[in-house]
Amino acid sequence: MGTILVTGGAGFIGSAVVRHIINNTSDTVVNVDKLTYAGNLESLTSVAKSERYHFEQVDICRQAEISALLNKYQPTAIMHLAAESHVDRSIDGPGEFIQTNIVGTYSLLEAARSYWVDLPEGEQNNFRFHHISTDEVYGDLEGTEDLFTEETPYAPSSPYSASKASSDHLVRAWGRTFGLPIIITNCSNNYGPFHFPEKLVPHVILNALAGKPLPVYGDGSQIRDWLYVEDHARALYRVINKAKIGETFNIGGHNEKKNIEVVETICSLLEELAPNKPKGIKNYRDLITFVTDRPGHDLRYAIDATKIHKELNWKPSETFESGLKKTVLWYLDNQNWWKSILSGEYKLDRIGSESHTKETVVGSK
């Protein structure tokens, strides 16, 4: 039994991690989230009443407040997921990405280091700082057979991926220079329940149900490796408990798909699962619209997840087909969740609320 402090626990991947830990382990979770537009406590309703769950609305850039939380809850591990993550938003306004992903990670590292050095030796040896990152730090792949490995050089393309690459470097530096017991994971594109509507999969589902256009960047030939979010949550918990200090693991779903394939598959699933279309719509695919490509758009990401399979005995449970069907069904069955986001109601009771979701083009992350 331990106490895990999860930053960004009200976000998409973070909330999946929190739910997994509360529902499947005996650990306590401290969810630290600033509650920006992408944070939604309604994603944690199923575990919110657990005696092992605690929520603190704190910005990770506020080092003194983070230090106070560490001293209050005495965590045995930190899982750092808090980040600005939408590429389009990073192009429109890079500043928030620099602040949260770089400055925020620095502040968290310093708070964690101060906390860790004061722990008794046995507790120091058991403590872990797990930084959750993205495959986008590697840039894109030229060949159709190449894969990202843990040794692939960094070559980020967008302000988002550059900020995440920077945070990865900071974490490694704090491990090398100060001895902080760090672990890093880099994941492929996630999808699944509770995904914020601006991202590709939920954006397509909800636009299609509303009879709105499904704008696709370029010709939709960009390739991504798709990972079901609950598989990712299992992997992250396995890493925090089993990985050696200083290690890096790539986590992928073994599901390479072109963006246009993803969109077309969702349309096919909706034909089966939601046949009563909006007025005037004959086929969901008729809503697909190709638009000018995103600046600097990476063509292909693909992860080699051999290391985590061999060393930690993890592999995804869901295929792309099974995971995507579960996802579409979830959005059909949980309309109150996403309707409250689209209306902005989900953040009426929070401090410092911001503008809610905006219309985005269907691209990658």
349 is catalytic: no
CA distance 181 to 92: 35
Catalytic residue among 42, 135, 198, 304: 135
CB 285 within 8 A of CB 208: no
CA distance 24 to 336: 26
Catalytic residue among 53, 106, 115, 160: 160
Instruction: Return the ∠ at Cα 128 (arms to 122 and 133), rounded to 5°.
Output: 175
Using H for helix, E for strand and C for coil, what is the string for the chain?
Answer: CCEEEEECCCCHHHHHHHHHHHHHCCCEEEEECCCCCCCCHHHHCCCCCCCCEEEECCCCCCHHHHHHHHHHHCCCEEEECCCCCCHHHHHHCCHHHHHHHHHHHHHHHHHHHHHHHCCCHHHHHHCEEEEEEEHHHHCCCCCCCCCECCCCCCCCCCHHHHHHHHHHHHHHHHHHHHCCCEEEEEECEEECCCCCCCCHHHHHHHHHHCCCCEEEECCCCCEEEEEEHHHHHHHHHHHHHHCCCCCEEEECCCCEEEHHHHHHHHHHHHHHHCCCCCCCCCCHHHHEEEECCCCCCCCECCECCHHHHHHHCCCCCCCHHHHHHHHHHHHHHCHHHHHHHHHCHHHCCCCCCCCCCCCCCECCC
231 is catalytic: no
CA distance 280 to 125: 63
CB 135 within 8 A of CB 303: yes
Catalytic residue among 33, 42, 136, 304: 136
96 is catalytic: no
Q: Which residues are catalytic?
A: 135-136, 160
